Structure 1
């Protein structure tokens, strides 16, 4: 079993907050992580998808009283949103008795609604952690190509062969379309949503054009925008915003979209092997999205990010404001002999970043001239880790 960075984050948050909300897509490893914590500390675990476990919380005050002194783990908490109100009362009573940390670990697959519900009801009582698919720091540099091709969901990455990995991802997509999304409430035809999801995969790393997608799907631009909101909420798609500043430049302001897991992107496109990926038109956008997800997985919560593009062609794939608020400009290249474009130099003249980096698939860092450094993915991820 691969040790997960999120475990340390959750344990750290439980040491300072009465409740911790752990979000992440299905099958990312939230339950496995929670059960590890439960085994270690004798916690009580309930899966709220099971009617028998939900029945135990009919009288939540009595249940919490019976388990006083234990961490209570509630999995798939979004299934029973009415629990937040009584949980607040339990937490407040325990606070008055002098207990202030480590009461509840709440797991959920959808982020925005869960954060809104918990934030409104448990304000001042809850901390948050997002669990993401496996990253390059967790699996090591030797497995970068497998991680890129198969994606970071543990069962996909650790499958016996490429065929088994592809079948797992195909089933993952089918389950989301046929079961998980309908269970959350949206009445969207599964075939329409699959087409939309696949279009986003084809356009990996491109600016989001609702009008073009709407025309292809026979829908309105508003509806397509709502579909994107849903996929972002489910932590399946990243919406990377334009980096704004008082630069006096005409900027491209539409967000860029990336499927957050590269393996899911490849499954939607029918890419079954690394060789097929390397010859596919999406290879550049796929690598770019993969690198961005790995970098952002290690950023502290206070960091900000975006892409920079002017109407005149100046462009940076990823702009980061990191520790100390210094700005980093990051260009992403799949080549082992990377070169930067004139547009990158022009964008750096606009932003004056503290560091100018080109992330590439090699293992050694080296200078490219004009204060630009080529850097391996694992190294930049290690530098940015909190």
Structure 2
């Protein structure tokens, strides 16, 4: 088992909450992490029809099986159980008694907010970050972008050519029907691929729906399904008055670059090296790495981009105790003298607006790291391994 950076956060939450909700996409390692931290407590999967029927028909007796707590997997399948769980933890007041996992965010969180408010600590687990992979991190950037971070691709003898199409098919045939009742799965699959082609771009729901042959309302609903399943995320603009009119439209990102590459039809390093989407793939990887760092630490996303109405843009902004960190993302392997310009210009505007800022960062597709022309230039591998220590 590759150690997860989220383990320390989970240990902390187990000390302060009777129930922990561990959410994330399917196959991100939630069950493995939960069971490794459960100190020998029993495990029950509510995907199992018999287990689910028992929990629904006789919830009191179901919970009575676990006098010292348990790991309850895919608990969004039995939202009715949460009210009985509330009664149980209120009576016992034992911290860290139950770990709940779920892969459908809005189903699970709706139930938790209604019945377990104040009693549950939440941790979101995405696929492996580069810092978690260590020696298992692919040697080339192209390989890292093609493989992504889903644990099965690292802990079992399965190729991405076998795993990704089965993951996509299972998701479309199973989860989508449960979450939104899509009738035309082929049309939804086209919608997903159109979203993939827009990763790293401004989100225009009307245009997306039109290209997919559905209304903007349906496009919004389907996109919410992808978000709820932790396949995509929207990055909001940073609304600070810097003397320019700012855009208000969010950007769309996939949360696993390997899945994104597969959906775009990119199957090998040679194709990726010259593909028009290479820059978008690298940008997606960087944004997802920062998001994983935030989630692993138990923090909300709170990531932004900045763009004004004449096209000046910063790819990524995050607020830190030392000031706002600006990150520019360049997929090229050789540092170019014009790369720092946008970040340095933004820093001047931000300082004039009264914001505290840190030295801007330029993440690129090369190697090494160090100060260059007023920015911290960091190659992809060094970024994956050390970003958390600098943020």
The alignment's TM-score, normalised by the length of structure 1, stands at 0.91
Cα deviation for residue 151 of structure 1 reads 1.0
**How many residues are aligned here?**
375
What residue number does 1:265 align with?
260
What residue number does 2:42 align with?
44
- Shifted more, 167-176 versus 294-303: the winner is 294-303
What residue number does 1:203 align with?
198
Give yes or no for contact 1:315–1:343 (8 Å, CA) kept in 2. Answer: yes
* 1:293-314 Cα distance to aligned partner (Å, 9 max, x none): 1112112415622001111221
Q: Indicate the SS of the match to 1:137.
A: helix
Give yes or no for contact 1:338–1:358 (8 Å, CA) kept in 2. Answer: no
Q: Supply the RMSD in Å over aligned alpha carbons.
A: 2.1
Give yes or no for contact 1:110–1:233 (8 Å, CA) kept in 2. Answer: yes
Cα deviation for residue 108 of structure 1 reads 0.3
Matched, 1:327 2:327: no
2:127 to 102, 127, 133: 133
* 1:199-245 Cα distance to aligned partner (Å, 9 max, x none): 11112201011122222122221221221111111110011111111
What residue number does 2:83 align with?
85
Q: Distance in 1 between matches of 2:379 and 2:108?
A: 36
What residue number does 2:348 align with?
349
Q: Distance in 2 between matches of 1:160 and 1:83?
A: 37
Q: Distance in 1 between matches of 2:155 and 2:332?
A: 26
Cα deviation for residue 362 of structure 1 reads 3.3
1:185–1:79: structure 2 CA closer, same or farther, 3 Å change rule?
farther
What residue number does 2:354 align with?
none
Q: Distance in 1 between matches of 2:240 and 2:65?
A: 54
- Shifted more, 324-333 versus 124-133: the winner is 324-333
What residue number does 2:63 align with?
64
What residue number does 2:12 align with?
12
Return 5+ residue gaps in structure 2 as ranges.
352-356
* 1:30-76 Cα distance to aligned partner (Å, 9 max, x none): 122223234xx1211110011222244343333433422x2311111
Q: Distance in 1 between matches of 2:238 and 2:380?
A: 22
Give yes or no for contact 2:63–2:85 (8 Å, CA) kept in 1. Answer: no
The alignment's TM-score, normalised by the length of structure 2, stands at 0.90
2:369 to 359, 362, 365: 365
Give yes or no for contact 2:344–2:360 (8 Å, CA) kept in 1. Answer: no
1:172–1:270: structure 2 CA closer, same or farther, 3 Å change rule?
same
